[in-house]
Amino acid sequence: MISYAPRAGGIGPHVDNYDVFLLQGRGTRKWSIQNALMDRETEARSLIPHNPLRVLASFRETHAWTLEPGDLLYLPPRVPHDGVSLDQDCMTYSIGFRAPTQEELLEAATAAAVSTLREREAGPRFYVDPHLPYAQDVGEITPVALKQVRGLVQDALAAVLDDDALLARWAGRSLTGPKHRSRAVAAEEGEEYGVWMEREEARAVVQELLGWESSRETEEKGATQASMPRKLYRAEGLKFAHADGGRLLFVDGHVWDLRDEDEERRRRICNCLTGGASPFPLQDISSVLRESLECVDVVTEWLMRGFLYVVEENCT
């Protein structure tokens, strides 16, 4: 988020539920904190009534810093803080690492359980109560019936939560998936991510990366290198992750299965593709591509779908 404020402007003192990095752009801003974590109950009692921004009515400053352009301030979750502009034109970049809520995880787990049941069962499993005792009152939902309901729901969730492989799959898709509804709908409908390649162009980029190491060795021996490979980047704004010992790769809620039986090689591939620097260090990406045809296929598809993109060397 980018926030703009004139002199003396700001949101007001508040609390965030996740890690936040505040990068100062234009102008200067004073940031104050109250050096004590505030729990939810205390926050609820301290809010200004009928304010959708959840601004604190009381705030006691214990530490303060003035951020100038380029300065960065880290704020842990649940630390009360307040930012006030000291210039007429002030812009601050707020980089928040949003954590999933219990409700969101439960919703994702329930959806995964429903999907798993549909795939595994020959048909729906219905509620049955052949030994239901007579109810004392008309319309009563008896304890026996409730126990039956509980068992059906618990069995469905256990099918996912007790299976480590399924747990890794749905959790990875949920944690990397888009959070904004418009992005989620676009992803479900298979729309492109704004940057894309035709298959032949993607293959050409991969071949270029595969041939980089030999070209570099030739150059070091004194020969002139005809062309340097383009820089390869992960698409900004997408989450990349892996799980289950490198068997599963995730991007933006999508999942890829790696079939390679060599766990060490799988982990090298996953660590290169989902972590580290962007643009990719050429030596690293060239190495894993040479090691694995699966990696070649994944990188080719990611280029085609816009998860990865390239920039010409002479671009600035």
Segment 104-130, tens digit of pLDDT: 899 989 989 988 888 876 677 888 888
Contact 112, 166 (CB under 8 A): yes
At residue 242, the pLDDT reads: 96
pLDDT digits (tens, 9 = 90+) for 281-290: 988 999 999 9
pLDDT above 70 (res 227): no
23/2 Cα distance (integer angstroms) = 9
Looking at the chain, the domain(s) classified CATH 3.40.366.30 span: 102-188
For residues 243-263, average pLDDT: 94
Q: What is the pTM of this model?
A: 0.75
Which CATH number applies to 102-188?
A: 3.40.366.30
For residues 14-38, average pLDDT: 95
Residue 27 tokens, joined: 């102008």
At residue 181, the pLDDT reads: 58
Name residue, tokens 């109250």: 34
For residues 270-289, average pLDDT: 90
Beta-bridged to residue 241, according to DSSP, are 250
For residues 193-218, average pLDDT: 76
Average pLDDT, the chain: 87
At residue 38, the pLDDT reads: 95
pLDDT above 90 (res 140): no
Q: What is the pLDDT confidence band of residue 228, given thresholds at 50, 70 and 90?
A: low
pLDDT above 80 (res 179): no
pLDDT digits (tens, 9 = 90+) for 83-104: 999 999 999 999 998 888 899 8
pLDDT above 60 (res 214): no
Q: What is the pLDDT confidence band of residue 223, given thresholds at 50, 70 and 90?
A: very low
Q: What is the pLDDT confidence band of residue 205, given thresholds at 50, 70 and 90?
A: very high
For residues 36-52, average pLDDT: 91
Q: Which of 9-23, 62-76, 108-122, 162-176 has the lowest mean pLDDT?
A: 108-122
At residue 42, the pLDDT reads: 93
269/240 Cα distance (integer angstroms) = 13
Looking at the chain, the domain(s) classified CATH 2.60.120.650 span: 2-97
Name residue, tokens 């509980």: 150
Q: What percent of the chain has pLDDT over 90?
A: 63
Q: What is the pLDDT confidence band of residue 225, given thresholds at 50, 70 and 90?
A: very low
At residue 183, the pLDDT reads: 57
pLDDT above 60 (res 190): no
At residue 99, the pLDDT reads: 84
Going by C-alpha positions, the residue among 60, 64, 69 that lies closest to residue 84 is 64
Concatenated DSSP letters for 42-83? HHHHHBPTT-TT--BS-----EEEEE-TT-EEEE-TT--EEE
For residues 304-314, average pLDDT: 85
Give, in degrees to the nearest 5, the angle at Cα 17 between 3 and 31: 45
Render the burial of 87-119: b for 16+ CB within 10 Å, e for the rest. Answer: beebbbeeeeeeeeeeeeeeebbeebbeebeee
At residue 129, the pLDDT reads: 82
Which residues neighbour 131 within 8 Å (Cβ) at sequence distance 6 or greater?
144
pLDDT above 50 (res 176): yes
Q: Which CATH class is domain 2-97?
A: mainly beta
Q: What is the pLDDT confidence band of residue 226, given thresholds at 50, 70 and 90?
A: very low
Going by C-alpha positions, the residue among 310, 287, 311 that lies closest to residue 213 is 287
At residue 82, the pLDDT reads: 96
